[in-house]
Chains A and B, each alone.
Chain A
């Protein structure tokens, strides 16, 4: 075994350790309940009630007040954040949320949500689509999205 290979294996080990630590940190933070709702600057109101938020995510509302179509962006329910959101917003497991949206999509009455694997992709999508709304576990980094206050709070 040569030296470069030993160094490469050591680097991979380090990366994996960092990833595990980051995940644990994020999970710990999320479990702390710090979810943030972000929305596109167009259509999505700056403030909403929790019930209103839930109704949006339960596909009970199709248009914002200005008439912009509601577009739901979601982190996949199989991710830790997704599971938290499923629990907090839907009071369901991840599979149940998946089934719920599968049913909504099956009926085709409501525009299906767009799912992403990463928060950055999610934030990027919201910033680019009018009427798009999403739930993150952190404050948005992009200035092109707004943080929607839920019951007057940035995080809930």
Chain B
């Protein structure tokens, strides 16, 4: 059970008051009563003795007027209840072996006192007796006095009343002292406790107001100083934590930047290697395909000439009726089904031409994409960059995704073409991968003020808001482990930022995603 300081103070005050009240109301009056009664008894006894001595002398000297004077000592006392002159006589038994003392009342004052012959002390009267060493009548005399105790009772009542008043006054003073103690000890301590509790909860603005010049005041000052010190320490700690957090954040960002830079470097190195390889392959393929491309038209012309010659031969044969002479040629013609062959040749030539053209485009795309000059800042046509990228990704989307192009009339922009190609490659790859089966990718370019905007919109699965907010975070990927590094869009974002541009993403789950890339037309030369 917890007993508060306030309770202890009140218990102490109450105990003192109770003890004081006991002494004032019970013990002291009781002692006083005993003392008064004892004194009164002594006084009455002394009076009886005095009167007895005086009477005894007076009787011995037969100074009867002296008796009257002696008796008047008690008669004039207002407290007197009764005074008797007794004759003590011994009554013997028949055998005269035993006797009993017997008092005979000679005189009583006041005579009309209605008291029994044998009286003794009681609550209302104290009776005392004093013997006379002289004979009166037939036996020794004695004086018996009875004094009323009402004066004592009144005194006791007065003492009790005074005690009650004093006790009441002490109670009032004690209550006032209790309040004073509570006010000066308990309340400040409770305030301190409450303030300490609030400080414990973290509120360091707590101050205790106590200007008393005692221990409580010292405690309050010490508490306030402690709170100030705590507040200062916490501020310093908070500042240190803030600095640490900032440092930590900076370190984390630095680490992330380093990782991203490392990955970017690796990626760039890969791309550079790939670009060199691609450029080498393109260069090596370009020469033979140029031969093919360059020879197709002469071949077609030659074939046309040969066909024309053959047609001339047939016309001459028919005009000169030389069918019999060239019956063998006719049989061969029938045998080889020359019309079909000629058609096949044309088709083959068309196929070769188409293949060469396609190969040239691929080589062109490879060269355009690889851009050995990727670290060179120059002007580039972004429509061409998009086309080159689509060429490289053709195998990934052919036969299942339709590409809707809406290239606008856009100016060339200042950029690192290789890096911009990388951005288009990442975004188009993601768009293709976002379409699980069949779908459409809409590509649109346009100029807006001093920028060129490129929109790549797919009809894929789309993404929710949580994913959308994280897609540019390094190493964030929704792909299976091992299938994506989570760096593609992060690197792309970095490249666009490097070009002072921006990438916006709009996505609706189940409907698709749209990336809008903004690249300034001109870059500030630094």
Q: Which residues of A line the B interface, CB within 8 A?
A: 74, 76-78, 95-96, 98-108, 111-115
Q: Contact check, B65 vs A106: say whether CB atoms are below 8 A apart.
A: no
Bound state CA distance, A115 and B211, in angstroms?
A: 91
Q: Contact check, A96 vs B138: say whether CB atoms are below 8 A apart.
A: yes
Bound state CA distance, A102 and B141, in angstroms?
A: 10
Which residues on the B side are within 8 Å of A105 (C-beta)?
58, 64-65, 67-68, 71
Bound state CA distance, A98 and B139, in angstroms?
A: 12
B88 CB-CB contact with A under 8 Å: no
Residue in A78, A95, A96, A115 whose beta carbon sits within 8 Å of that of B64 in the complex: A115
Q: Contact check, A96 vs B137: say whether CB atoms are below 8 A apart.
A: yes
Q: A78-B62, A106-B85, A106-B106 are in contact. Are A95 and B137 (CB under 8 A)?
A: yes
Q: Contact check, B67 vs A106: say whether CB atoms are below 8 A apart.
A: yes
Bound state CA distance, A101 and B141, in angstroms?
A: 13
Look across to chain A and name the residue whose beta carbon is closest to the beta carbon of B132.
A102
Q: Contact check, A112 vs B138: say whether CB atoms are below 8 A apart.
A: no
Q: Contact check, B67 vs A102: say whether CB atoms are below 8 A apart.
A: yes
B225 CB-CB contact with A under 8 Å: no
B148 CB-CB contact with A under 8 Å: no
Interface centre among B67, B106, B111 (most CB of A within 10 A): B67
Q: Mark B52-79, 1 if CB is under 8 A from A, else 0.
A: 0001001101111101100110010000
Chain B count of residues within 8 A CB distance of the other chain? 24
Interface centre among A95, A101, A104, A113 (most CB of B within 10 A): A95
Bound state CA distance, A97 and B441, in angstroms?
A: 164
Which residues on the A side are within 8 Å of B72 (C-beta)?
108
Q: Which residues of B line the A interface, CB within 8 A?
A: 55, 58-59, 61-65, 67-68, 71-72, 75, 85, 87, 106-107, 109, 111, 135-138, 141
Q: Contact check, A112 vs B65: say whether CB atoms are below 8 A apart.
A: yes
Q: How far is the CB of B406 from chain A (nearest CB, A)?
A: 155
Q: How far is the CB of B245 from chain A (nearest CB, A)?
A: 117
Bound state CA distance, A149 and B224, in angstroms?
A: 120
Look across to chain B and name the residue whose beta carbon is closest to the beta carbon of A100.
B137
Q: A114-B65, A115-B63 are in contact. Are A99 and B71 (CB under 8 A)?
A: no
Bound state CA distance, A84 and B197, in angstroms?
A: 112
Q: How far is the CB of A20 from chain B (nearest CB, A)?
A: 24
Q: Contact check, A99 vs B62: say whether CB atoms are below 8 A apart.
A: no
Bound state CA distance, A39 and B75, in angstroms?
A: 32
Which residues on the B side are within 8 Å of A111 (C-beta)?
65
Q: A76-B62, A112-B67 are in contact. Are A102 and B106 (CB under 8 A)?
A: yes
Q: How far is the CB of B476 from chain A (nearest CB, A)?
A: 133
Q: How far is the CB of A29 from chain B (nearest CB, A)?
A: 23
Q: Contact check, B136 vs A98: say whether CB atoms are below 8 A apart.
A: yes
Bound state CA distance, A98 and B59, in angstroms?
A: 7
Which residues on the A side are within 8 Å of B67 (C-beta)?
102, 105-106, 112
User: What would 13 A/B residue contacts be, using CB atoms closer than 8 Å?
Assistant: A77-B62, A78-B62, A95-B137, A98-B59, A99-B136, A99-B141, A101-B64, A105-B67, A106-B68, A106-B106, A106-B107, A108-B109, A113-B64
**9 closest A-B pairs (Cβ-Cβ)?**
A112-B64, A99-B137, A105-B67, A99-B136, A105-B64, A115-B62, A106-B107, A112-B65, A103-B107
Q: Contact check, A99 vs B106: say whether CB atoms are below 8 A apart.
A: yes
Residue in A74, A98, A103 whose beta carbon sits within 8 Å of that of B85 in the complex: A103
Look across to chain B and name the residue whose beta carbon is closest to the beta carbon of A75.
B62
Residue in A78, A95, A96, A108 whose beta carbon sits within 8 Å of that of B71 in the complex: A108
Q: Contact check, B111 vs A102: say whether CB atoms are below 8 A apart.
A: no
Residue in A77, A78, A108, A115 whose beta carbon sits within 8 Å of that of B75 in the complex: A108
Q: How far is the CB of A105 from chain B (nearest CB, A)?
A: 4
Bound state CA distance, A74 and B65, in angstroms?
A: 12
Bound state CA distance, A112 and B65, in angstroms?
A: 5
Look across to chain A and name the residue whose beta carbon is closest to the beta carbon of B67.
A105
Q: A107-B109, A107-B111, A108-B75 are in contact. Are A102 and B64 (CB under 8 A)?
A: yes
Which residues on the B side are within 8 Å of A107 (C-beta)?
107, 109, 111
Bound state CA distance, A101 and B63, in angstroms?
A: 10
Q: How far is the CB of A75 from chain B (nearest CB, A)?
A: 9
Which residues on the B side are within 8 Å of A115 (C-beta)?
61-64
Q: How far is the CB of A70 from chain B (nearest CB, A)?
A: 14
Bound state CA distance, A77 and B55, in angstroms?
A: 17
Bound state CA distance, A111 and B136, in angstroms?
A: 19
